[in-house]
Structure 1
Amino acid sequence: MHCNKYGWLFIAVFFTATFLSACSSSDGEMTDVRVGEVTRSIFYAPQYVAISQGFFEEEGLNIDLTTTWGGDTTMTSLLSDGIDIALVGAETSIYVYAQDANDPAVNFAQLTQTDGTFLVSREPVGQFDWNDLKGSTFLAQRAGGMPQMVGEYVLKQNGIDPQKDLELIQNIDFGNIPSAFASGTGDYVQLFEPTATQFEEEGLGFIIDSFGTQSGNLPYTVYMSKASYLKNNEETVEKFTRALYQAQQWVQEQAPEVIAEAIQDFFEDTPLSTIEQVVERYRDQGSFAENPLLQEDGWYLLQEVMAEAGELPMEVPYNELVNTEIVTGVIEE
C-alpha cells in the first residue's frame, strides 16, 4: 500500500504551484480541506466515520476526499499543493525529508497503529507455528513497500530468514497478488482486508496470523501536511484533528455492525457482513488508533523496520517530523 523508492521526489519537491490555503471566515462559512488517501480501505474506518457521522461538518470543515492510489502519487499531490492533507504511511515523510526538502511533510495525527496484513494459508492449519513456513512458497507483498518491510521484519522476529528459508515471491503487482494465490501460486500469502476475509468465505484460504499483532504498534498510516500548511492553517488542522479524535472514540464505543453501516457507502461493492467482520478484526487487534497522537516509540520502531529492510535513508528524530502540539491540545480539552 505504501511505496518506497521515491525518485519522483527530486521533481516533486521543487515543483511549484499556486498555494491554496484553506481559511475560515468569521460568518460561519465552511472551510474546504482537500484530503488525499493512499488507497480506499476498511483499514481507515475512523476517517469514513468522521465524514458520515458529520464530525468534520460540526467543526466547520468540508472534506474533499480523493483516493490518490499509491504513496508516490499521494506525496506528489501533497508536495505540489494538489491536496492539503495526505493520509499515507509515515515512512514517506522520512523519504521526503531525506531529499533535503525545504518544506517537509510533517506528521500531525495517526489513524492506524499496526500493519494491516494477515498471513493466509492455502490449507487449514491446526496449531500454527511460524516455523511451518520454512521450506514453503511464500507469496509476499511487492519488494520495497511498507507491507513487505513489515512482513520480512516479522519473519525475522520469528526466526525465519526470508531469503534462505522460503521460496519468496515478491515480484507480483499489489493488485494481482490475490488472483495469483487464488490460481495456485504459493502455499502462504500476505493479504490485506477485505480480501483475506473474502478468501476465507470462499474457501480459497485461511487466516492463521496477523502481521499487525506480530510487528507491534507503529505509525502505519498517518495524516501529514507540509510544514508551511501547518503553520498557516493551525486552526483548520486543529479542527480536523478534533473531528478525527471524536470519530476514533466513536469507533471504539460502537458495535461492529453499527460501524459497518456507517461506512458502507464507501464500500458499495463489499457485502455489509464482510465489512462488519473486517472492522471487528481490525479493532480487536488494536489496528485503529484510539487517539491521534503518534507515539515516540512507534516512530522509532518504524525506523527499525525500515533499517532492517535496508530502506532507511537516514535516522530522523521524533520531534523533527512529528507535530504533537496540536493533537495534545485536542486530547486535553
Structure 2
Amino acid sequence: MSFIGKSFCAVLTAASLIAAPLTASAQDKKVVISQAFQSMLYLPLYVAINKDFFKQQGLDVDKETAGSPTAALSAVLSGSAQFSIHGPEWTAIAASKGANVGIISNVANGAAVWIATTPDFKFETIKDIKGQKVVTGLMPTTSTSLFMKLLKENGMDPNKDVDMLQVQIGSEPGPFMGGQAKVAVLYEPGLDQVAARGMKVVLGFPQVYGPYAFSSVTVKKDVDPDSAQKVVNAMELAFRFIQSNPDETVAIAQKEFPSLDPKVVEAAVRRMIKENVYPKSAETTPDAFKVAMDTQIVLGNLPAQPDFSKFVIQDYSKKALTLAN
C-alpha cells in the first residue's frame, strides 16, 4: 500500500470515531471551509472572502487552516467543516476507499509546478537534467509526483537518472540557492523568490499538461445543497474577478501574504493568471480531471479513473455559470 493509501486508511478510521456531522443553521447559513494550507493556489477563496462574495450569497464563512490535505478532508468527513480545499486526488482516493465525497468547484486548474535552474545551466529539454541533483518537495506532493511522471514520459528513471534531494515542501529555495543543486522543482511563491535572485525558469508544467484539476472544493455528497450552491456561486464570482481585475487581485494576495516580498507576490500571481492556473470558471472539465487522476494512477495511488459523472458534482457549477456579473 502506498504512503497516501495508508494515510487515508487512518483518516477514514478516525472519521468513523467522530460524532455525526454538524449542520449549519438554515437561518444564518454559517459554513466552515477547511483549507489544507494558506496557499497562493487558493487565492480565489481569499478573493471571494475579501470581496464579500460569500456574504452577497448569504453565507457566513469561517475559514480554517488544517495544516495538510488529509486534515482538511478529515474535517469534512467528521462534520466539523462542510467544505474543504486541497488537491482532488485526496478526495478521489478517499472515495475509492468508500467515503461518500465528491468535488463541486474548481480552485486551481493548472499544474502549478515549475522547474528552475541556475543561470549557467544549459537547458533545452527535460533530458538535459539527466545525471543532475534536483531539489524537490518531500513526497507525497504533486510537484515531485509530476516531475517523476514527466521523467518517465521522456524515457528516464526517476530513481536512477536524477538524484532527487527531497526537502520539506516550501523549503526548496533554501538548498537550491545554497548551491546544493543546479535544478529545482518549485511551487509558487518559491519559484518567483528564486527568479528574483537570478535563477532561470526553464519549464512550466501548466504548458506541458494544459488544464489540470489541481485544487478543488470537496464536500460530502449529502451536503446542504443550498449552502453548496452559494459557495460555488461565490467562487465563480471570484474567478471572474481575478480575470477582470488582476491589479486588485495582486493587492488581495499581498494582504493575505504580508510576510512575503510584495514584488514576489505580484510576480507569482501574475504568472498564475497568465498561465491559467486560476480557472476562468468553477467548472471542472472531464479532460482536466482525467489528467490529474492519471498522475495518481501512474503512482499507484488510484486503481482506475473515478467515474467523472458521479465524482464531480456538476450541477452547482453549471448553475453558477448563469450568474449575472
Same fold judged by TM-score > 0.5?
yes
Q: Deviations over 1:180-228 (max 9, x none)?
A: 223322221111111111112234x322221222122221100011112
1:301 and 1:258 map into 2 onto residues whose CA distance is 31
Corresponding residue of 2:77: 79
Describe how 1:69-218 pairs up with structure 2 within 5 A. Answer: 69-101=67-99, 104-125=100-121, 128-170=124-166, 172-203=167-198, 205-218=199-212
* CA distance in structure 2 between the partners assigned to 1:177 and 1:264 by the alignment: 21
8 A contact 2:73–2:218 mirrored in 1: no
List aligned pairs for 1:257-268, cutoff 5 A: 257-268=247-258
CA deviations over 1:15-38 (Å, ceiling 9, x no partner): 33242212442xxxx421101111
**CA–CA separation in structure 2 for the residues paired with 1:315 and 1:44:** 25
Which residue is equivalent to 1:21?
A: 23
The one-letter amino acid paired with 1:206 is K
User: Counterparts of 1:318 and 1:113 in 2: how far apart (Å)?
Assistant: 16
Question: In structure 1, what is the equivalent of residue 4 of structure 2?
Answer: 4
Which residue, out of 215, 222, 226, partners 1:221? 215
Report deviation, 1:175: 4.1
Percent identity, aligned pairs only, is 19
Using the TM superposition, give the Cα deviation of residue 79 of structure 1 relative to its aligned residue in structure 2, in angstroms.
Answer: 1.0
The answer to whether the Cα contact below 8 Å between 2:34 and 2:63 also exists between their aligned partners in 1 is yes
Aligned-partner residue type, residue 136 of structure 2: A
CA contact (8 A) 1:150 1:305 kept: yes
Shift in Å, 1:127 = 5.8
**What TM-score, normalized by structure 1, do the two folds share?**
0.89
Partners of 1:211 and 1:250 in 2: CA distance: 24
The DSSP-based 3-state class of the residue aligned with 1:113 is: strand
TM-score by length of 2: 0.91
Residue type matched to 1:174 in 2?
I
Q: Which runs of 5+ in 1 are unaligned?
A: none
* Residue type of the alignment partner of 1:269: S
Q: 2:237 aligns with which of 240, 246, 261?
A: 246
The partner residue of 1:234 within 225, 250, 261 is 225
Cα distance in structure 2, aligned partners of 1:178 and 1:263: 20
- Structure 1, 39-48 or 188-197: larger mean CA deviation: 39-48
Shift of 1:326: 1.3
For the 8 Å contact 2:66–2:72, the answer to whether it is kept is yes
* Aligned length in residues: 319
Distance 1:313 1:126 in 2: 38
Residue in structure 2 matched with residue 276 of structure 1 by the alignment:
266
- Cα deviation for residue 126 of structure 1 reads 6.2
Matched, 1:309 2:299: yes
Letter in 1 for 2:249: I
> In 2, Cα distance between the equivalents of 1:254 and 1:83?
30
Once the two structures are superposed, what CA deviation does each residue of 1:138-188 show, in whole Å capped at 9, x if it has no partner?
A: 122223322222221223334433223212233x32244332223322221
What CA distance in whole angstroms lies between the structure 1 residues aligned with 2:46 and 2:233?
15
| SS of corresponding position for 1:150 | helix
Aligned partners of 1:322 and 1:165: how far apart in 2? 37
Please tell me the root mean square deviation across aligned C-alpha atoms, in Å.
1.9
